[in-house]
Amino acid sequence: MKQLIIIALVVCSFSASAQTKYEKGMTKAFDLWKSEKQWEAANLFERIAQAEPDEWLPPFYVAQINILYSFNEKDEEKITAQLKKAQDFLNDAKAISKENAEILVAQAQLYTAWVVFDGAKYGMNYSPKIAQTYQEAYNIEPENPRVAFGKVEWDLGTARWFGQDTSKFCEDLAAAVALFETYEPKGQFYPQGGGDYAKQSLEQNCAEKE
Amino acid sequence: MLRFLLIFDSSNKINQKMKVSRKQLTLIIITTLLAVILPYSLLAQTTVSGVVTQKNGTPILGANVYLDGTYDGASTDENGQFNFTTEETGVQTLVVSFVSFEPFYMAADVSQMENVAVILKEDVNSLDTVVISAGTFEAGDNSKVSVLKPLDVVTTASALGDFVGALQTLPGTTTVAEDGRLFVRGGDAGETQIFIDGIRVFTPYTPTTNNIPTRGRYSPFLFDGITFSTGGYSAEFGQALSSVLLLNTIDEPDQDKTDIGIMSVGATLGNTQKWEKSSVSFNGAYINLAPYIAAIPDRNDWEKPFEAFAGESVFRRKFEKGIFKFYAAFDATNFELTQEDINLEDGLRFKLNNKNLYTNASYSGDLGESWKVLAGGSFTHANNDLGIMDSEINDTENSAHFKLKFRKRFSNRFKLNFGAEQFLTDFTEDFQNPFVEAGYGFNNGISAAFAEADLIFSRKFAMKLGVRGEYSDLFGQFTVSPRASVAYKTGKSSQLSVAYGDFYQQPLNEILKFEQDLEAQMTRHYILNYQYSANNRIFRAEFYRKEYDQLVTFDTEFAGFESNYANNGDGYAQGVDIFWRDNNSIKSVDYWVSYSYLDSERKYRNFPIEATPSFANSHNLSVVGKYFVSDWKSQFGISYQYGSGRTYTDPNEPGFLQKQTRDFNSISFNWAYLISQQKILYFSVNNLLGFKNINGYQYADTPNVNGIFDRRALRPAADQFFFVGFFWTISEDGTDNQLDNL
């Protein structure tokens, strides 16, 4: 028995990379994403999603990639197909992990993508939904930086559109940016991005205050 | 080997989900070790490779190719090629998926999966699939054939928040300004039926009197889908000769909120409460025209200006596989006035008290294996208490509609809809004046069954075939109506559709209450539609011909007991409807133009000859424009309505409906100012330039001393109408911003 443990320890130290299939797959998908092969990454996440029906992260990332790359999409057919796919995978993720603030943030971003695409057409319908979704996410996990930032950024954007004073949001925005520094992801491969963009947003929106 | 993998798998999950004991750790380490080493030593790898193309041979880049249930797979390259290795053996399922194509599955032994040629079939559910559009206008969010957006109902200048008003800017409708109802393609208003969530509305309009336009009863904010069909509609709908209007209530409201509206003509209050699975919305409105008429008197002499109380409520509950909705609306209207009349020196006294209750319950759900069900019913109780001069008329209608519908999707390419429904009406009327007292009415039951198949041959070619059978208890008559439509895509953004259908409808209550020994009236529609839509621009042109038969005729000035009735009438309507909408070419401007040409003649009611009825004018044009000014947070809307002259009979000359009024013109303007996220100030004026429109003429019953029948022009009660409203929404997440601004 003792010997076995020693062997085991040796093995452990020799390969911290002795990853599970899931870890390997996820790591590879993130590598693809980082090297700007986001669609290949999305395909891999999709494969992992169908092989691991109990993990919410793979379908979440399939949705996340489709949402993120919809923001600059001008072709209605393409954006419709992407956001429909994203919604399908978000639904899968929701079914696996209930009351999940990260998924709700992605849902709010999905609605936002529609509003950005055609504000006149989708603004009236989706704006209250976006505010509501952030609120739900906030009720679940107020300390999550993506929740806090998404919510305040949406409120700020709305206030700016109505020509209202936006400076009152700066405090909340700064607090959200600070959360990115301290927030510990709840598990491996959990979302952790968004901090740089949040900082940028703070600098742009609250420059004179700094 | 398989067993090791199983152990590996389950332990892996433990590792992630809980702290592991030392024993487990040992196990994990061992299995991990085995898992790491084994692939390289013991497992053979098989290569899976091939190419993915479209039907025409074009390679597909970025398709996802994998073995079902495993991690093994790859994306295709620019040549459509894929290549990956797997440790799986035996029979596996190869899956190829790509957006807007149907997924491909192939079960085979892994060793056989080399150089597989996969041809993906286009997904006929995807966006660029042909849509059967003949006769149909949709207002919705993601529908490709949408011509109106839900918001258009409230932002169209001439509509005044009435969805019927917004639809009157679409082609196929005619301008009958004094009526307010929908007149479609030479049909009278009774030929259009309205459905809420697929269930019939028996009394959709608030009753009114001569020369005062009515409004739809229902609040536009409760609906998120509006389909307006001007002909050739589905076999699911019957008892409408000309047109159906389908309204769908919102499935799930966004949030808890309270809506307050203060208007120059009254006030509204709405509240929505939302829980996890269910929600309730209430809307109440009080309308009183007294202050408005006091400030801006019109041509009528009001004893009791128009007053209405209305309340609506929607309850929704979601179940695992379906949704239940209950909708109820109650409203009470009353007014009393004296209208000018050429034959009555003191004018015509008219008094109305109306009470209307409508309830509608429906359940739609999934039965599994691609079966869907819709079950629903509605009940209407309507009571009118009318006083016309010294006659008192009291009528009561109790009507019900029950419907059960199934839908089965056999594949993306073949779907079947079928169902049955029952309509029941019990109508009674009491008539009383100093000379006569009478009570009469009728009981009417209609049973119907329908079936319809959707056949989608390819993204380019689709067909809908349906049939509807109806049995009328009252007439003992059985009718069969075939319906068919075909759509073909002529280019990337254009398509051609044709539709054909037979439509039956019973005579309206105003006839049936005197005479029940009749038959259903019928029309036959032929429609050819061309649609082009790209880059937020839509062009539609629709040619149609409609043939009427079995129309009810009678031989007296007004329909009454003494009249002789028959189904001897017939007629036709033909023309072309053109629609153009563009919100792309000019920045911040959205506009649409509708033009309809109509040629129609009919012999019905007491017409001595076939003639063009006064509601069927030849040319109608609507231009609606909206301009959004971000800096001013304002939307400006303008709409222009033109209708060519309408027919009337001049008794001083021989003939019937032989003369035409002058053209109708009206320019309306509105301004919506967003004070903040939740407060809107709304201002509108109808007929801004004050055109003096004439809807028709009333002639004296007897000639004057010179032997000439005098006449009086039928003018609108007021040439112009002004409206100011303030709308405020209070919701949980918006309150912060709002209070800070006060």
Report pLDDT for B126: 59
Three-state DSSP at B34 gives helix
Interchain contact, A25 vs B150, CB within 8 Å: no
Total Cβ atoms within 10 A of residue B249: 20
What does CATH list as the number for B48-123?
2.60.40.1120
Give the pLDDT confidence of B353-393 residue by residue, as tens digits: 999 999 999 999 999 888 999 999 999 999 999 998 889 99
Residues of chain B with CATH 2.60.40.1120: 48-123
Which chain B residue's Cα is nearest to A8?
Answer: B29
Angle of helix A145-161 relative to helix A170-182, nearest 10 degrees, comes to: 160
Q: A-chain residues within 8 Å CB-CB of B150?
A: 124-125
Residue B690 has pLDDT above 90, yes or no: no
Instruction: Show contacts of B288-295: CB within 8 Å, 24+ apart.
Output: B289/B265, B291/B264, B292/B264, B292/B265
Q: Does A39 touch chain B (CB under 8 A)?
A: yes
Give the pLDDT confidence of B477-497 residue by residue, as tens digits: 999 999 999 988 888 788 888
**Nearest by Cα to B456 from B407, B499, B413:** B413
Q: Provide mean pLDDT across the span B48-73.
A: 89
Interchain contact, B127 vs A47, CB within 8 Å: no
Give the pLDDT confidence of B629-667 residue by residue, as tens digits: 877 878 888 999 999 999 999 999 999 999 999 999 999
Give the pLDDT confidence of B454-483 residue by residue, as tens digits: 888 887 888 999 999 999 999 999 999 999
| Count of CB pairs separated by less than 8 Å, A with B | 114
On average, the pLDDT of chain B sits at 84
Interchain contact, B75 vs A39, CB within 8 Å: yes
Interchain contact, A77 vs B127, CB within 8 Å: yes
Interchain contact, A43 vs B99, CB within 8 Å: no
- CB B332 within 8 Å of CB B307: no
- Our measurement of the distance from residue B449's CA atom to the centroid of its chain's CA atoms, rounded to an integer in Å, reads 22
Q: B-chain residues within 8 Å CB-CB of A21?
A: 12, 35, 71
Q: B-chain residues within 8 Å CB-CB of A159?
A: 677, 737
Q: B-chain residues within 8 Å CB-CB of A121?
A: 141, 149
Q: A-chain residues within 8 Å CB-CB of B536?
A: 118
- CB A169 within 8 Å of CB A159: yes
C-alpha to C-alpha distances, A122 to A110, B78, B142, B185, B612, nearest whole angstrom: 12, 35, 9, 32, 43
Strand partners, B195: B200, B246
Give the pLDDT confidence of B249-286 residue by residue, as tens digits: 877 776 778 888 888 888 888 888 888 888 898 888 89
Q: In the structure encoding, which two tokens stand for residue B158, read together?
A: 């001439």
- CB B54 within 8 Å of CB A37: no
**Nearest by Cα to A163 from B508, B657, B230, B741:** B741
Angle of helix A76-96 relative to helix A38-51, nearest 10 degrees, comes to: 30
- Is residue B625 classed exposed, middle or buried when 0-12, 13-18 and 19+ CB atoms within 10 A define those classes? middle
> Using CB atoms, which residue from A39, A129, A159 is nearest to B254?
A129
Residue B97 has pLDDT above 80, yes or no: yes
Interchain contact, B71 vs A125, CB within 8 Å: no
Quick one: DSSP state of residue B218?
S
Strand partners, B476: none
Taking the CA of residue B639 and the nearest CA in chain A, the distance in Å comes to 19
Q: What fold characterizes domain B136-741?
A: Maltoporin; Chain A (2.40.170)
Report pLDDT for B735: 38
In tens digits, chain A (210 residues) has pLDDT values of 444 444 443 333 334 445 788 888 898 888 988 888 888 899 999 999 988 888 899 999 999 999 988 888 888 778 888 898 899 999 989 888 888 889 999 999 999 998 888 776 677 678 878 888 888 898 888 888 888 888 888 888 888 777 777 788 888 888 888 888 888 888 888 888 777 788 787 887 777 544
Alpha-carbon span B109 to B587, nearest angstrom? 58
**Nearest by Cα to B213 from B175, B167, B185, B181:** B181
Say which residues have a Cβ less than 8 Å from residue A80's Cβ, sequence separation at least 6: B127, B142
Q: Provide mean pLDDT across the span B219-248.
A: 84
Interchain contact, B97 vs A46, CB within 8 Å: yes
Give the pLDDT confidence of B296-325 residue by residue, as tens digits: 888 888 899 989 999 989 899 999 889 999
Residue B20 has pLDDT above 50, yes or no: no
Residue B1 has pLDDT above 80, yes or no: no
Residue B7's pLDDT band, with cuts at 50, 70 and 90, is very low
**B681 or B394: which leads in pLDDT:** B394
Taking the CA of residue A178 and the nearest CA in chain B, the distance in Å comes to 23
Interchain contact, A81 vs B127, CB within 8 Å: yes
Percentage of residues of chain B with pLDDT beyond 90 = 39
Give the pLDDT confidence of B578-609 residue by residue, as tens digits: 999 887 788 778 888 999 999 999 999 999 99
Region of poorest pLDDT, from B8-12, B427-431, B738-742? B738-742
Interchain contact, B36 vs A135, CB within 8 Å: no
Residue B224's pLDDT band, with cuts at 50, 70 and 90, is confident
A107's enclosing H/E stretch is: helix A101-117
Q: In the structure encoding, which two tokens stand for residue B104, read together?
A: 């491909």
Report pLDDT for A7: 42
Give the pLDDT confidence of B707-724 residue by residue, as tens digits: 999 999 988 888 888 888
Give the pLDDT confidence of B228-237 residue by residue, as tens digits: 888 888 899 9
Q: Provide mean pLDDT across the span B411-416.
A: 87
Residue of B75, B83, B92, B676 for testing the chain A interface, max A β-carbons within 10 Å = B75
Report pLDDT for B239: 92
Interchain contact, A15 vs B36, CB within 8 Å: yes
Q: In the structure encoding, which two tokens stand for residue B603, read together?
A: 């012999």
Phi and psi at B60, nearest 5°, equal -105, 125
Report pLDDT for B11: 38
Region of poorest pLDDT, from B50-54, B84-88, B156-160, B718-722? B156-160
Percentage of residues of chain B with pLDDT beyond 70 = 87
Interchain contact, A8 vs B141, CB within 8 Å: no
Alpha-carbon span B501 to B492, nearest angstrom? 28
Taking the CA of residue A41 and the nearest CA in chain B, the distance in Å comes to 9
Q: Provide mean pLDDT across the span B534-547.
A: 88
Q: Does A17 touch chain B (CB under 8 A)?
A: no
Give the pLDDT confidence of B102-112 residue by residue, as tens digits: 888 988 888 88
Q: In the structure encoding, which two tokens stand for residue A50, read together?
A: 């169908």
Three-state DSSP at A103 gives helix
Amino acid code (one letter) for A24: K
**B14 or A42: which leads in pLDDT:** A42
Report pLDDT for B271: 87
Residues of chain B with CATH 2.40.170.20: 136-741
Alpha-carbon span B509 to B382, nearest angstrom? 13
Alpha-carbon span B271 to B732, nearest angstrom? 12
Alpha-carbon span B322 to B365, nearest angstrom? 4
Does ipTM surpass 0.85 in this model? Answer: no
Q: Does A187 touch chain B (CB under 8 A)?
A: yes
Taking the CA of residue A196 and the nearest CA in chain B, the distance in Å comes to 27
Phi and psi at A177, nearest 5°, equal -60, -40
Rounded to 5°, the CA angle B528-B533-B538 comes to 80
